[in-house]
Amino acid sequence: MAAGDVTVGMIFLSQIVLGILGNFSLLSHHLFLYFSGYRSRPTNTILKHFTLGNILTLLSRGIPQTMVAFGLNFFISDSGCKLLFCIYRVGRSVSIGSTCLLCVFQAITISSGDSRWAELKVKAPGYIGVSVNLCWILSIPVNILFLRYVSGYSNNKNSTILKDVGYCSSARQDKTSDTLITVLLSFPDVVCVGIMLWASSSVVSILYRHKQRLRHIHTTTSPRSSPETRATKTILLLVSTFVFFYILSCIFQVCLAAIYNPGFFLMSTAAIINGCFPTVSPFLLTSSASSTSRICFAWIRGQKIILGAT
């Protein structure tokens, strides 16, 4: 086994371990808030589905890629390959959709009462559950349509095979069909990225105007940002990270589509970049979650004191 294959395998394995631990930690935190009776924030619902999408993405793509990198025979049937592809695409779509919802909801939350979002600001929490469920419902049929182009690995070197990722293959179509498939698969992601950038620019504008107003307020105490402001900055960091890795992923996907027989290094690098966001994102949200945990524990201690006094 080549040293490069071992290095790639270790990177995949590190992504799986760190990503699963981080996402399970974040998921268990929000589940704890739910079952403890603490009145959680509306965004906690989005974050629970966000972590589930990340976990599905890491498991469905990371484990097969790791086995292939370490030289293990991982040849599955057409149905198994299609199932892995569907789980990966659905998990990825839910993760992207949840990030988009999180950014939009935060933009609505921090908007002023006299803005055009004033009426929606009150109703937004009630739409979160429906919006997150739509992310799951819409992502399934969109990605199932393309399962016919994915097949299990075949030992026969057939000219119809466009590229082999080690455990699955995709049939080569004409350039028009390949372009159409790529555009249709990317269209929901591009729409979500566009909405994220628009919502993020609105958030930055709101924070800037708020900062300008605070300059005219003189106080003897040291200013401290509100929980909403800290949460907003965390979400902006999350969106910036996603956009960065998404642009890198698009560049490598174009290279994979343009090259007739892409090598192992190029395919592995593209897969590693695709796994970066679901691995890193839960750790970006850890600080915000830890602040909520301290509030939650304080609330639970208060309830115990009240019950002990009665």
Structural domain including 154 reads 3-213+226-305
What is the rounded CA–CA span in Å between residue 201 and residue 222?
28
Question: Quick one: pLDDT at residue 15?
Answer: 92
Task: Give domain status of residue 247, yes or no.
Answer: yes
Number of folded domains in the chain?
1
Instruction: Spell out the long-range contacts of 63-69 with Cβ–Cβ below 8 A and sequence spacing 24 or more.
Output: 63/16, 64/166, 64/167, 65/12, 65/165, 65/166, 65/268, 65/271, 66/9, 66/12, 66/13, 66/16, 67/167, 68/165, 68/166, 68/167, 69/5, 69/6, 69/8, 69/9, 69/12, 69/268
- CB proximity list for 266: less than 8 A, separation 6 or greater: 252, 255, 256, 259
In a domain? residue 218: no
Q: Is 310 domain-assigned?
A: no
| 298 within a domain of the structure (yes/no) | yes
**pLDDT per residue of the chain (310 residues) written in tens, 0 to 9:** 577 778 888 999 999 999 999 999 888 877 777 777 666 677 888 888 999 999 999 998 888 888 878 877 656 777 888 888 889 989 999 999 999 998 888 888 877 766 666 677 778 888 888 999 998 998 888 788 777 777 766 544 454 444 555 567 776 666 666 667 777 777 888 898 899 988 888 888 877 777 777 665 544 444 445 666 666 777 788 888 888 998 888 888 777 766 666 777 888 888 889 899 999 988 888 755 444 444 333 333 444 444 344 4
* Residue 141 included in any domain: yes
Residue 171: φ, ψ to 5°:
-75, 140
Q: Please tell me the predicted confidence (pLDDT) of residue 215.
A: 63
Q: Is 219 within a domain?
A: no
Q: Which residue has the tokens 């403890």?
A: 36
Contact 36, 300 (CB under 8 A): yes
* CB 287 within 8 Å of CB 280: no
- pLDDT score for 122: 78
User: The whole model's pTM is what?
Assistant: 0.81
Model pLDDT, residue 118: 67
In this structure, the number of other CB atoms found within 10 A of the CB of residue 245 comes to: 19
Two tokens at 210?
A: 């708020």
Question: Which pLDDT does position 53 carry in this prediction?
Answer: 92
Residue 264 covered by a domain:
yes
What is the reported pLDDT for 20?
Answer: 93
Return the CATH number at 291. 1.20.1070.10
Could you tell me the end-to-end alpha-carbon distance of the chain, in angstroms, rounded to an integer? Answer: 69
- Predicted pLDDT at 214: 66
Q: Residue 141 has what pLDDT?
A: 83
**Full DSSP string of 7-72:** HHHHHHHHHHHHHHHHHHHHHHHHHHHHHTT----THHHHHHHHHHHHHHHIIIIIHHHHHHHTT-
Contacts of 154 (CB under 8 A, 6+ apart): 161, 169
251-297 pLDDT, tens per residue? 887 777 666 667 778 888 888 898 999 999 888 887 554 444 443 33
Burial 159-187 (b: 16+ CB within 10 A, else e): eebbbbbbbbbbebeeeeeeeebeeebee
Instruction: Report pLDDT for 301.
Output: 43
Establish if 73 belongs to a structural domain: yes
Would you state the pLDDT for residue 201?
86
CB 50 within 8 A of CB 284: no
* Rounded Cα gap, residues 79 and 210, in angstroms: 54
